[in-house]
Chains A and B, each alone.
Chain A
């Protein structure tokens, strides 16, 4: 049944239905509505979990790590500065192969201090060994949590996952959301069975140190597991679509792309705006389509290559800046690599940073720029301030 619900509350419902045993989080805008709602659920007995009110994000993820090692399904949420503060633990959780799921309410990183949306926070941890899934709307924000838990806990994967959804644009807006029943979710996501756990009856050591004789193989195995995660994510997406009727069987999603000459590529909620702009351009007779990338880690480069094989120009809309890089944005670098030298011309266009609105007319402009072969650059810059 569809309910009108704030994006953050839809995520909280997803968490409740996923039955974590331990929730640990620290408040930070714009993540707060999720953790407030979860606290209410625990206070009312609607969520049977230990809720740890930690003193910092650093401890939020550290305590999730401890609880996961002890054998519990765990949950945390953060954004921006909080995620940066966690960074050391972020790498550690992946290295220790604990299937933690954490929501990122994407927000810009300071300085200057800014509480609004872009993708700099999660993208700066792209090499941490976490899966990163990006949602377009409230429904997808909810659903990706079920997929994230199921893929993370798969013994071929055993990697943590970030479900990324845009701060304010999705966290604080209301949309109709189809909330599954507990029975439906339970059948899709059974109780957590840890691969190994801290247990006095079967004592093992977690988090040992590794010399040069051993370290490199640990890193290789994390990477190999991430590559396997592509297949696992597709499989759980397929299973999800069969159960719930919403299709997440692909890690990318094309919109009016089949006969397109020009493609816009993006992650996150801006894909909604791009779809409207694509419709307008189609009406005007232009062959423009959208490729939405749902999974940035693992990066589905084969899918991207196939999806973009028919286009000649690609505009990657980047809500992040890889400072000092020629391509400017982290997404464009991956897309250009996927497309390869024989493929389309790929350009990174950086904008919408720190919450600056991206409008349909901006999308029209990016399509124009790509078609004109305009090099990687910012869009929407206020030249008068420079």
Chain B
């Protein structure tokens, strides 16, 4: 951040203190700039930013329904094209709207090749309705519809690989980012907007309320996710991974222990078996994206 950009997501919205998605909205609009039309899905961000008659958005903004932001954006883009207008269309939608209920419309948008940047703010569950699991919820996370219990260790399915699905649609640019790395996020937003065709960015947006951590630690939690290998910041161009942030990986323990959604793995006793499974997910990510910084061999 150079600090020179104008803010397009204003203060005074109603998000929780330390809200990852609110920070994402600010960074995305800052990077996208003035000549942008934002299309939103129903969700936390929509609700905390636009209670009538107040709005936090200083760019044109439109919300219709939970699952149709991609289709609304398709129409906005077609209209702008017909009118010969220059604004760029940016969708900002949550993970429930993206991974689950909206995937039909998203598939349509990407297959048709509209010049739209679709950004998913991924807080890994349905937070607006009270922390229910989505297709983006990580393995073993405790949510209100995947509660840990006597017979369950929480969410039993791994996170859906939406970047791969959209890359398979022929998207020229697919990336993941994190609010904990603002410069990287903004660079990727600019790149997506400058790239013609449908581009996708999935932004890790820690949710202090849903994940159970102190709102002062949002950036720290985001960094821990990246350092654990459970979240990888990467770029795919024309379906090929061209860049992935390398890290000196740390065991997943620190990241898990910092959040209440995983505390059942440590209480009453440490569930080493389940923690090992989560570590295996991180190890697999590290191998797939080649993110481990290799220690120089002194011999």
Contacts and interface: CB of A to CB of B under 8 A. Distances in A.
A205 B61 contact: yes
Interface string A208-226: 1111001000000000000
Interface string A183-209: 000000000000000111011111111
A208 to B, nearest CB: 4
Nearest to B86: A200
Interface stretch (B103-111, B277-285, B289-297): B103-111
A71 interface: yes
A22 interface: yes
Contact of B62 (A24, A69, A88): A69
- Name, among B58, B62, B63, B79, the residue most crowded by chain A CB atoms within 10 Å (CB to CB): B79
A72 B108 contact: no
B105 A209 contact: no
Interface stretch (A53-61, A174-182, A278-286, A346-354): A53-61
Interface string B19-55: 0000000000000001111011000001100111101
Contacts of B108: 54-56, 59
B50 A208 contact: yes
B225 interface: no
A89 B64 contact: yes
B52 A62 contact: no
A68 B71 CA distance: 13
A71 B83 CA distance: 9
Contacts of A65: 64, 68, 72, 75
Given A52-B74, A65-B75, A208-B50, A59 B104 contact: yes
A52 B81 CA distance: 12
A214 B37 contact: no
Interface string A55-85: 1101100111111111110100000000000
Interface string B64-84: 110110111111111111110
A50 B82 contact: yes
Given A52-B78, A56-B108, A200 B60 contact: yes
A66 B75 contact: yes
B243 interface: no
Contacts of A56: 104-105, 108
Size bracket, chain A contacts = 35 or more
Contacts of B107: 55
B76 A208 contact: no
A267 to B, nearest CB: 30
Contacts of A66: 39, 62, 64, 71-77, 79
B202 to A, nearest CB: 21
A94 to B, nearest CB: 12
Contacts of B144: none
A96 interface: yes
A203 B8 CA distance: 10
B87 interface: yes
A67 B65 CA distance: 15
B83 A72 contact: yes
A70 B65 contact: no
Contacts of B34: 200
Nearest to A24: B75
Given A63-B74, A92-B64, A203-B58, A50 B51 contact: no
A55 B63 contact: no
A58 B74 contact: no
B37 A70 contact: yes
A49 interface: yes
B59 interface: yes
Contact of B76 (A54, A59, A69, A205): A69
A72 B82 contact: yes
Nearest to B67: A58
B75 A22 contact: yes
A92 to B, nearest CB: 5
Interface string A1-32: 00000000000000000000110100000000
A66 B80 CA distance: 10
B299 to A, nearest CB: 58
Contacts of A92: 64-65
B25 to A, nearest CB: 13
Contact of A63 (B59, B67, B75, B82): B75
- Identify the 4 closest CB pairs spanning chains A and B, nearest first: A66-B75, A63-B75, A62-B71, A55-B108
Interface of A: 21-22, 24, 49-50, 52-56, 58-59, 62-72, 74, 88-89, 92, 96, 198-200, 202-211, 214
Given A69-B62, A211-B51, 10 more contacts: A66-B39, A66-B62, A66-B77, A68-B75, A88-B65, A200-B34, A200-B36, A206-B62, A209-B46, A209-B52
Interface of B: 34-37, 39-40, 46-47, 50-53, 55, 57-65, 67-68, 70-83, 87, 104-105, 107-108, 111-112
